[in-house]
């Protein structure tokens, strides 16, 4: 059965929760629709994060990003939604989602959203490990 787009983000256990390390995803083929014109919008997303207890599984990330293909949304809303959904799925110590939106009307748009867990929560979680 062929893959289908999905909003479900899968995770797996962080193999090294006692240390800070960064995971980076480079997603150059994102598409969604302009909510005003219905025309396709194209973006290159870069996602970086420092995991806490869980890591994002790659195939589920691909299917999640694909799920936006037929949805209309503004650049700012999509970028923030991706950050919110990823944070909800894996509760990272820190995460940044950068969307580089390709030319529309002669203008390139870059949107960067960041999440950082409170320092005390991250320290307590590491002490438990």
What are the residue numbers of the active site?
A: 34, 41
Instruction: Enumerate the H helices of the chain as residue ranges.
Output: 58-66, 75-90, 119-128
Q: How far apart are CA 22 and CA 2, in angstroms?
A: 32
Instruction: Report yes or no: 35 and 73 within 8 Å, Cβ to Cβ.
Output: yes
Tokens 């990272």 label which residue?
A: 92
């Amino acid at each position: 059965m062929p893959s289908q787009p999905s909003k479900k983000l899968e995770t797996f256990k962080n193999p090294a929760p006692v240390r800070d390390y960064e995971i980076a995803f480079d997603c150059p083929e994102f598409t969604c629709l302009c909510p005003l014109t219905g025309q396709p919008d194209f973006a290159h997303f870069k996602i970086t994060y420092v995991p806490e207890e869980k890591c994002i599984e790659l195939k589920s990330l691909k299917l999640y990003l694909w799920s936006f293909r037929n949805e209309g949304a503004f650049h700012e809303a999509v970028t923030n939604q991706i950050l919110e959904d990823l944070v909800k799925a894996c509760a990272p110590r820190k995460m940044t989602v950068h969307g580089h939106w390709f030319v529309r009307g002669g203008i390139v748009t870059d949107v960067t959203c960041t999440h950082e867990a409170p320092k005390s929560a991250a320290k307590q979680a590491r002490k438990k490990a």
